[in-house]
Amino acid sequence: MVQRGLSPADYQLIRSRRKTLSVEVGRRGVLVRAPLHASDAEIRSFVDGHEGWIRKHVEEYEKKIRETEIRPADRLSTRDLHDLAEQALKIIPERVAYYAPKVGVTYGRITIRNQKTRWGSCSACGNLNFNCLLMLAPPQVLDSVIVHELCHRKEMNHSRRFYDEVLRVFPDYWKWHGWLKENGPGLLRRMTG
């Protein structure tokens, strides 16, 4: 945590051929970017003037890190993943069968996996893959992924036409896509190995 009255030890100074001073908070800590010609006094004044902003963002970043840390007890065992896959095999084909006529497409084989990077995919011949970790998300997230993959049967891209089709079938798509974007990395980190 950054203490009151920031000292040069509380941030990393990076000088470059830029025209303005800026500050950012992230994985590398507090970075202050300054023009080559900026004096130490100018930099000090800039940092002092942004101390409240810096402290707030350091606190928010540290909180976010704490919330996304996975304790050993939160990790999914091989048995947990197996159970999630079994649950997905019961639920996902039903949801795919429900949405396919709404999209107006057919599909091939449905496979359930425990992937570390993808939530779903659709092959050129219409085979669908889904991540068993979707069982840990709200049902609307699962439906949004299913509709997304089924719409690839019409458009094998992420064009405007593709998203128009997704939104026609599932108008709340962006809301639940946002949920998955924000919370999905935490779910993926729960996998062992």
Residues 6+ apart with CB under 8 A from 173: 144, 147, 148, 163, 166, 167
Q: What is the 3-state secondary structure (H, E, C) of 110-146?
A: EEEECCCCCCEEECCCCCEEEEHHHHHCCHHHHHHHH
Looking at the predicted structure, is the pLDDT value of residue 70 above 70? no
Determine the number of helices (DSSP H) and then strands (DSSP E) in the chain. 6, 6
- Amino acid 68: pLDDT: 58
Looking at the predicted structure, is the pLDDT value of residue 89 above 60? yes
| pLDDT 10s digits, 21-37 | 999 988 788 999 999 99
**118-127: b or e for each residue (b if 16 or more CB lie within 10 Å)?**
ebbbbeeebe
| pLDDT 10s digits, 121-158 | 999 999 999 999 999 999 999 999 999 999 999 999 99
- Nearest to residue 166, comparing CAs of 139, 184, 192, 145? 145
- Amino acid 69: pLDDT: 56
- Nearest to residue 33, comparing CAs of 52, 11, 15, 7? 15
- Amino acid 73: pLDDT: 57
Distance CA 75, CA 13 (A): 38
- Amino acid 99: pLDDT: 98
The β-bridge partners of 84 are: none
Of the pLDDT bands very low, low, confident and very high (cuts 50, 70, 90), residue 1 is: very low
- Nearest to residue 14, comparing CAs of 33, 28, 30, 27? 33
- Residue 73 or residue 45, greater confidence: 45
Looking at the predicted structure, is the pLDDT value of residue 167 above 80? yes
Of the pLDDT bands very low, low, confident and very high (cuts 50, 70, 90), residue 120 is: very high
Q: What is the pTM of this model?
A: 0.64
Looking at the predicted structure, is the pLDDT value of residue 4 above 80? no
- Amino acid 159: pLDDT: 94
Amino acid at 14: I
Looking at the predicted structure, is the pLDDT value of residue 171 above 90? yes
Contact 111, 149 (CB under 8 A): no
Looking at the predicted structure, is the pLDDT value of residue 103 above 50? yes
The β-bridge partners of 189 are: none
- Residue 175 or residue 116, greater confidence: 175
- Amino acid 9: pLDDT: 77
Q: Give all domains of the chain, ordered by start, each with its CATH number.
A: 8-68 (no CATH), 72-189 (3.30.2010.10)
Mean pLDDT of the chain: 89
